[in-house]
Chains A and B, each alone.
Chain A
Amino acid sequence: MEMLQYALRKFITGIPLIIGVTLISFLLMVYFGPDKTYELVGKNATEEQIQEIRHQLGYDKPFVARYLEYLKELATFDFGYSDSTGERVNSILKRTVPISLALITPGFVLGNLLGIALALVAAYYRGHWLDKLIMGGSVVGMSVSFLIVIIAFQILLSSNDGLGWFPVRGWNVYSFWDYLRYITVPTLATVFVALGYNTRFYRAVIVEEMGRDHVRTAKAFGTPPGELLFKHILKNAMIPIITRIMFSIPLVVISGSLLVESYFGIPGVGKVTFDAITTGDQPILKAVVGITAVLFVIVLILNDIFYKLVDPRVSLK
């Protein structure tokens, strides 16, 4: 009960954030965005026809009225119909979001788990050649552009010049086997790119935790190294680790999948959004940006609740 009250209170403080995000995005993407009128009217349209279309698209209303309408749409979760295809925005999202999640989740989870594992090894062997090897590897990983990794992996694993094991592009998933075939190359690329940053960050967190007094005490009492690492160090390092993972979720869902989806031609939410920007499909943009903002606030709340679960000293006030 205390948790629920806290979550509600937190949500109310998150409202300014939602308003800010939606206002800035609305201003940029809708108000200054592409004008669709002349695409929709036929050739040699009369003045009335143009006015008619502008009215349908809502261009003739004042800015504040259009923005308030958008907030209403966000609150009721009903974004109307796509300007380009006439499909309901909700059904577009229902179709594309699961694809993006299925595409991005394995790489995201593996990238973080492997990052933590490598960071633990590096921190445990601090100053040793193994640590230097892992840290050197992460600087290399950080320095390769995501785009280059994607292209290189595609050449090596999918193209005819390379191994040719996996489909080059597209998304014809009808079985679990298909799914594995289509996600392997994108997943490997995502993990490769995320690993450098993750390992470095997690190692820094773990090394800082290792220097604390209670760890030295535990060591002095003869705690076995495994227990020391997992119980005394990793558990305390969980707060920054969780924060990092949680905050990357909303961005990974949209931005992270954008490049992978446009390169591999996968019809996920990132690709739909990108196409919406270039064609000026405002209902889709409004939906995606609004939902991301709400997702961010939810993540903020969940993050604090996780703190509480991990560390009983944190109070939900």
Chain B
Amino acid sequence: MNTLAEETSLPKESESLWGKAWYKFRRDRTGMIALGVVIFFMFIALGVWAGLWGSGWSNVGGDMWAGPSPEHWLGTNIIGQDIYSRAIYSTKTAFEVGMVVAILSTILGGILGALSGYFTNSWVDELILWLMGVLDSIPFYLFVAAIAYALQGYPYSMHIAMIATFWTTTARLVRGEVIKLKNFEFVEAARAIGLPQGKIIFRHIMPNTFHILLVQATIVFVGAIKSEVILSFLGLGVVDGVSWGLMIAESTQEVQAGHYSNFLTASTFLFVLVMAFNMFSDSLQDALDPKKVSA
């Protein structure tokens, strides 16, 4: 009886891609730890959002550049704000940027990629390919700067710029997959029974590209958080609120005066989250793509 119970925990052939992937992912220790770290950060972000902690990020409560103390766990910055609460609050900013950009650019990339893959060699495909080529050829930081100025300080100009440029990679991958999928029998069958094209593309083909979309979304999430830091430093990023990028930007003056707490705190938070997300993304890719070359 025991052996039978063990056998049933192995994946059965009838199980779906997702079931198998989850089974594989659960056994990947690095992936699970990374997921744990990501969930922990998300918990911090949700807490900030609910107002449980980090709400005193803008209070000027202490002396300038105070060292660590019971009130200010990680000391204070150049104008006496608590570095710990600023770093905690920034977690929410990072998730906000990452989520918004990852979700919207994945949706955009998925839809346009599917359309372009399904209608290959038509004007739709040509147009989408041209748009992708154009967006990929504009230097990213110039594009963001231009959008920021064109929108006159609109707080979401950074998000818009990132969504507008990050979808192209997803769309290219989806396009390749759809070109392959559209010659499969189930699509032919759907066409034979006279389903409308929209239904074939979005109900029958698109769900088969979800594994690409999921992995791509995690990659875009990391890209968005990393770009936010550089854009905030250049003065193009987060307008109201605080982010790790803004903290690093303000720390560049402090570092020259020999105060490293702000810089180290923001860098560590950023590094740990990005690293965990990268590892999670890798494990996800391993679990979802049976053909992926790995060790």
Chain A interfacial positions (CB closer than 8 Å to B): 16-17, 20-21, 24-25, 28-29, 32-34, 126-127, 131-132, 135, 139-140, 142-148, 151-152, 155, 159, 161, 204, 207-208, 211, 250-251, 254-255, 258-259, 262, 273-274, 277-278, 280, 285, 288-289, 292-293, 296
Contact = CB atoms under 8 A, between A and B. Distances in A.
B139 A132 contact: no
Given A139-B278, A273-B142, A147 B233 contact: yes
A211 B279 CA distance: 25
Tell me what chain A mostly uses at the interface: helix, strand, loop, or mixed: helix
A27 to B, nearest CB: 8
Contacts of B234: 258-259, 262, 274
Interface in B14-38: none
Contact of A144 (B255, B258, B271): B271
Return the 6 tightest CB-CB contacts between A and B, nearest first.
A20-B134, A32-B150, A143-B275, A28-B146, A254-B139, A296-B137
Nearest to A208: B293
Contact of B130 (A16, A25, A139, A155): A16
Interface residues of B, number: 41
B141 A147 contact: no
B295 A126 contact: yes
Interface of B: 130-131, 133-135, 137-143, 145-147, 149-150, 226, 229-230, 233-234, 245, 248, 251-252, 255-256, 258, 260, 263, 267, 270-271, 274-275, 278-279, 282, 293, 295
Interface SS of chain B: helix
A204 B135 CA distance: 26
B141 A274 contact: yes
B78 to A, nearest CB: 15
16 contacts: A20-B131, A20-B134, A21-B137, A144-B274, A145-B226, A147-B248, A151-B248, A151-B252, A159-B256, A161-B258, A211-B293, A251-B140, A254-B139, A255-B142, A274-B142, A280-B149
Contacts, number: 127
A129 B139 CA distance: 39
A139 B275 contact: yes
Contacts of B145: 274, 277-278
A33 B248 contact: no
B278 A25 contact: no
A110 B79 CA distance: 41
A17 B248 contact: no
Contacts of A126: 295
B141 A33 contact: no
A307 B248 CA distance: 43
A140 B276 CA distance: 10
Contacts of A296: 137
The residue in A147, A211, A289 that gathers the most chain B C-beta atoms within 10 A of its C-beta is A147
A147 B138 contact: no
A277 B146 contact: yes
A145 B140 contact: no
Given A127-B295, A145-B230, A259-B230, A277 B142 contact: yes
A29 B134 contact: no
Nearest to B295: A127
A139 B137 contact: no
Contacts of B139: 250-251, 254-255, 258, 289, 292
A292 B138 CA distance: 7
A309 to B, nearest CB: 24
B142 A17 contact: no
Contact of A32 (B149, B245, B248, B278): B149
